[in-house]
Chains A and B, each alone.
Chain A
Amino acid sequence: MRVTLKIVGGFTGRAGAETYDVDVDQLPAADADRIRNLVHAARFAAQPATIKKPAPQSWDFLHELTVEDADGTHTVQFHPDAAPVELRDLGDAVKAIGKR
């Protein structure tokens, strides 16, 4: 399983997107379990492709999570304010682990 988070916005848009990439199979067991559990808790594959705020402003960066596994690849674009907490938690975990 591979999970990627991109955070898009600001002056540079996609050109300067913060990107965090995690190869779950290469992680220590505890981290790998955490990510898999968060993907499951978020029911990621069932999430719609976009979850946006009703009237986003220029400071509302768009988060883009992609999960690639044996079942295929699915991407969800979301504003954190509008997303379920489980999706936000998954993004936060990918950012924390991907930063190391």
Chain B
Amino acid sequence: MTTHRCEACFIVPSRLLMKLGDHRSALISERIRGHRIAAGAMLFAGVPAGEKRRTVYDVGHLTRLPGRLVRGEGAPPVADATVNAAYDSAGTTYDFYLEVLKRNSIDGRGLRLDSSVHYSRDYNNAFWNGRQMVYGDGDGRLFTGFAGALDVVAHELTHGVTQYTVPGGLVYEDQSGALNESISDVFGSIVKQWKLGQDVKQADWLIGAGIMAKGVGKALRSMKDPGNKNVTWDGDDQPRDMSGYVEGGDVHTNSGIPNHAFFLAATNLGGRSWEKAAWIWYRALPLLKPTATFEDAAAATIAACDVLKLGDTAKEAVEAAWKAVKVI
């Protein structure tokens, strides 16, 4: 008889502890279970699909991650709205990937979704650090916060999806880096549209709408109209096609081109972006290489149409999109 060696098995699941009102024990259990090293995650084959495992930490305006555990999976909302927003949006993004794309969390095997909020002071950013999401609060002059925006949360989680799905990941510079950024914007927008039940005509195609401070702008980027400062903000330097490509440019600049390609493909296909366009872009990910170019992405998305057996109409819609942005 083999003995199952479990690094972090508990008699009473933390969820039951929360129900019984023993929040302190539940949080301690989650903390021990939660740290990947302590939990010995490599011992597990994976977590069943549908079982979310979210934890939210408060960094207390310092920078040492992950911070103090403040909410675990199944725990009721807390007083801090930022914590609750990070928790809820991670859940919505998980639900999207599972229900629409049949993917069990970031790694396809039920990876924990760890979020740290209140990172540093006046921090105008959010990021995926290879293991977890991290959210600043903004300085109030440029940005007003990040965890409260669903597309931001889905954007960051999708960096993890890219990490686990593109063989070797997408190198974060030049065109592969711009693709890395674009894929996160694409699925950030799709998750928002899915949550709101919007079709491609109803969607605003804005990234970071609502996180800019008053008077600064309406959004950080636009997939529908990259570089149009009237719909985004004064610092929007994104090109919409290859005629504006910046050699050696920032990955957030040149991502405007593949972003616009996705917008065009999705609107060419019509309906709701998650029904076909999301599948095409998702199915293209394993076909990319770490130094993929925009042309490689075009080829991969066109090939994905065949893999998904979507027919010539879909293929032509995707081809037309990449031609319109002058990649092919």
Task: Check B208 for interface membership: any CB of A closer than 8 A.
Answer: yes
* Contact (Cβ within 8 A) B180 A55: no
Task: Check B124 for interface membership: any CB of A closer than 8 A.
Answer: yes
Kindly identify which residue among A9, A12, A17 contacts B220, using a CB–CB cutoff of 8 Å. Answer: A12
Contacts of B142 in A (CB 8 A): 15-16
Give Cα A17–Cα B128 distance, bound, in whole angstroms: 16
Number of B positions contacting A (CB below 8 A): 34
Task: Check B113 for interface membership: any CB of A closer than 8 A.
Answer: no
Q: Assuming the A-B contacts A14-B252, A16-B143, A55-B290, are A9 and B127 also in contact, with contact meaning beta carbons closer than 8 angstroms in the complex?
A: yes
Q: Assuming the A-B contacts A16-B125, A57-B163, A59-B127, are A11 and B146 also in contact, with contact meaning beta carbons closer than 8 angstroms in the complex?
A: yes
Task: Check A21 for interface membership: any CB of B closer than 8 A.
Answer: no
Contacts of A52 in B (CB 8 A): 173
Contacts of A16 in B (CB 8 A): 124-125, 142-143
Q: Could you give, for residues 241-267 of chain B, a 1 whenever the CB lies within 8 Å of some chain A CB and a 0 otherwise? A: 000000000111100000000000000
Task: Check A48 for interface membership: any CB of B closer than 8 A.
Answer: no
Q: Assuming the A-B contacts A16-B124, A55-B290, A57-B163, are A11 and B173 also in contact, with contact meaning beta carbons closer than 8 angstroms in the complex?
A: no
* Contact (Cβ within 8 A) A57 B169: yes
Closest beta carbon of chain B to A73's beta carbon, Å: 19
Kindly identify which residue among B125, B172, B177 contacts A11, using a CB–CB cutoff of 8 Å. Answer: B125
Contacts of A86 in B (CB 8 A): none
Give Cα A99–Cα B250 distance, bound, in whole angstroms: 25
Kindly identify which residue among A13, A56, A58, A60 contacts B250, using a CB–CB cutoff of 8 Å. Answer: A13
Give Cα A18–Cα B125 distance, bound, in whole angstroms: 9
Task: Check B197 for interface membership: any CB of A closer than 8 A.
Answer: no
* Contact (Cβ within 8 A) A58 B127: yes
Give Cα A57–Cα B166 distance, bound, in whole angstroms: 12
Which of A14, A16, A18, A59 has most chain B Cβ within 10 Å?
A16
Give Cα A18–Cα B136 distance, bound, in whole angstroms: 12
* Contact (Cβ within 8 A) B125 A60: no
Task: Check A90 for interface membership: any CB of B closer than 8 A.
Answer: no
Kindly identify which residue among B184, B235, B250 contacts A8, using a CB–CB cutoff of 8 Å. Answer: B250
* Contact (Cβ within 8 A) A57 B124: no
Task: Check A10 for interface membership: any CB of B closer than 8 A.
Answer: yes
Contacts of A9 in B (CB 8 A): 125, 127
Task: Check B285 for interface membership: any CB of A closer than 8 A.
Answer: no
Q: Interface stretch among B41-49, B72-80, B151-159? A: B151-159
Q: Could you give, for residues 83-95 of chain A, a 1 whenever the CB lies within 8 Å of some chain B CB and a 0 otherwise? A: 0000000000000
Q: Could you give, for residues 121-153 of chain B, a 1 whenever the CB lies within 8 Å of some chain A CB and a 0 otherwise? A: 001111111100000000000110010000010
Q: Assuming the A-B contacts A15-B142, A15-B220, are A10 and B235 also in contact, with contact meaning beta carbons closer than 8 angstroms in the complex?
A: no
Which of B126, B162, B171 has most chain A Cβ within 10 Å?
B171
B236 (CB) vs chain A CBs: closest residue: A15
Which of B123, B173, B184, B290 has most chain A Cβ within 10 Å?
B173
A59 (CB) vs chain B CBs: closest residue: B129
Give Cα A9–Cα B169 distance, bound, in whole angstroms: 17
Which B168-189 residues sit within 8 Å CB-CB of chain A? 169, 171-173, 177, 180-181, 184
A-B pairs with beta carbons under 8 Å apart, 6 shown: A9-B127, A11-B126, A11-B156, A12-B126, A15-B124, A56-B177
Residues of A within 8 A of B (CB): 8-18, 52, 55-61
Residues of B within 8 A of A (CB): 123-130, 142-143, 146, 152, 155-156, 159, 162-163, 169, 171-173, 177, 180-181, 184, 208, 220, 233, 235, 250-253, 290
Q: A16-B143, A18-B125, A61-B127 are in contact. List 16 more A-B contacts (CB 8 A).
A: A9-B125, A9-B127, A10-B127, A11-B125, A11-B146, A14-B250, A15-B142, A16-B124, A55-B169, A56-B172, A58-B159, A58-B162, A58-B163, A58-B180, A59-B129, A59-B130
